[in-house]
Structure 1
Amino acid sequence: MQKILLWRWTFYFIGLIVLAFGISMTIKGQQLGIGPWDVLHVGLYQHFGLTIGTWGIITGFIIILATAAVLKAWPQIGTWLNMLLLGIFIDIFNWLIPDFTAFGAQMVIFILGVIVMGYGAGIYISPNIGAGPRDSLMLVLVEKTGASIKKVRTTLEVAVAIVGWLFGGPIGIGTVLIALFLGQIVHYTLPQSRKVLMKIIGEKDEKVLF
């Protein structure tokens, strides 16, 4: 049992770090635009100060409350940790990763960042410790609507990008690319990651818990 828990938490934390790294990579490729949720966070940052990561924590907390109201249950501890740690990791990586001035370099790091984000999301959701606030919202909508992960995530991120733009957040072709393709990447990386984890711990596949 301890071995199983260790592997689940290992997948969770590795996925969370990978996801934060990918998000920071896309922020460093800002000439192309940034991800829909980050458009919102940057817009709030420009209006009210604090940091991008801090606004990620605040919006995550609001989403947790809304999701809990729908499910009539509090999320798992992993969701709360995601709310806190993802914002912290993003601020750390934003500080560690150098800025790129050349458009070509920004384009490369942005594209790589989108791929890294997709794998990070798939890895950290797979152990069922608790999806992050935004992914929990996505999974709730998938269950309630019966639509696919890629369709729900794409719709959700397009809506968030519009709200972020209204707050003055930067959008561009990169924002559109993330909104359209990140959900499709997660659609494949989540079952892939879960399959690997289940093989390591010797269990059968299972439904994602909230």
Structure 2
Amino acid sequence: MSLTNLSPRQQFAAGRVPLRLANLFGGLLLFALAMALMVRADLGVDPWNVFHLGITHHVPLSLGTVVIIVGVLMLLTWIPMKQWPGLGTVANVFVIGLALDLFLLILPQVSGLGWQILTLLGAIAINGLGGAMYIGSHFGAGPRDGLMTGLHLRTGLSIRLVRTSIELLVLGIGWLLGGPVGLGTVAYALLIGPSTQFFFRFTIIKLGADRRSRRDLAS
């Protein structure tokens, strides 16, 4: 049974809270670090950040602030779809945006194609680890993923079709707004799935409410 569809109270009652909280916030920080590294690699970013960066070209806001605002707007779409936000959902909105701005202040721009490629690949691996830790904490889906699952449940369309449609839409809008599309965008699309899948086997926290093994969850 997935805990992402349970109420916040039920998610906390599932047990192993300290370990799950460490997974949650550690995963969100790694996710923000990966985003900042992709920006500094300057080879293109994932579709949602193409959208976020495109917006920053037209408003006097930092990238992290735009990420937070878009996350809040995505969370509002949950209301008509009767989705349950968890602690992880709310933390996703604010922790990633705040940490992203901090990492962008600290990390220098990467120069040299070889270093840029290594930084990009490292960022995708870190993103996979962070995403697996976040999902493995069982504290609710992120605001963008909740939009995807909500549309899937309401329309009956496959998760793959809904997710692909959403990401192509935000990618297209972001590109039109001036967001950076490049090698990193393609690499992310091809590698983020396998990266996250690899780390699932180490990061999924087994709970009493979830009888499946780590191997089952990672398969």
Q: Same fold (TM over 0.5)?
A: yes
| Preserved contact between residue 161 and residue 175 of structure 1 (Cα < 8 Å) | no
Q: Check if 1:56 corresponds to 2:64.
A: no
Mapped contact 2:83–2:146 kept (Cα < 8 A): no
**TM-superposition CA deviations, 1:25-68 (whole Å, max 9, x none):** 111111x2112111111111111121001000011011111123
Q: Which runs of 5+ in 1 are unaligned?
A: none
Q: Aligned residue pairs: how many?
A: 200
Match of residue 3 from structure 2: none
Aligned mates of 1:103, 1:189 — CA distance in 2: 27
Deviations 1:156-210 (A, max 9, x none): 333321110011111112112213332343345446521xx218x896349x9xx
Q: What is the percent sequence identity of the aligned residues? A: 31
- Measure the CA separation in 2 of the matches of 1:180 and 1:7: 31
Query: Which residue of the partner structure matches residue 4 of structure 1?
Result: 16
Kindly indicate whether the alpha-carbon contact (under 8 Å) linking 1:40 and 1:165 is maintained by their aligned counterparts in 2: yes
- Farther off after superposition, 2-11 or 14-23: 2-11
Give me the CA root mean square deviation.
Answer: 2.7
Q: Say whether residues 1:29 and 2:41 are aligned partners.
A: yes
| SS of corresponding position for 1:48 | coil
Distance in 1 between residues matched to 2:152 and 2:116, nearest whole Å:
33
Matches within 5 A, 1:123-142: 123-141=133-151
For 1:43 and 1:178, the matched residues in 2 are separated by: 18
Structure 1 contact 157–179 (Cα < 8 Å) conserved: no
Distance 1:154 1:180, change over 3 A: farther
Q: TM-score, normalised by structure 2?
A: 0.80
Measured in 1, the distance between the counterparts of 2:134 and 2:96 equals 11
Q: Deviations over 1:117-173 (max 9, x none)?
A: 11211111112112221232344456543445xx75455333321110011111112
Whether the 8 Å CA contact 1:19–1:120 is kept in 2: the answer is yes
Tell me if the contact between 1:153 and 1:183 (Cα under 8 Å) persists in the aligned partners: no
Q: Secondary structure in 2 aligned to 1:24?
A: helix
1:111 aligns with 2:95: no
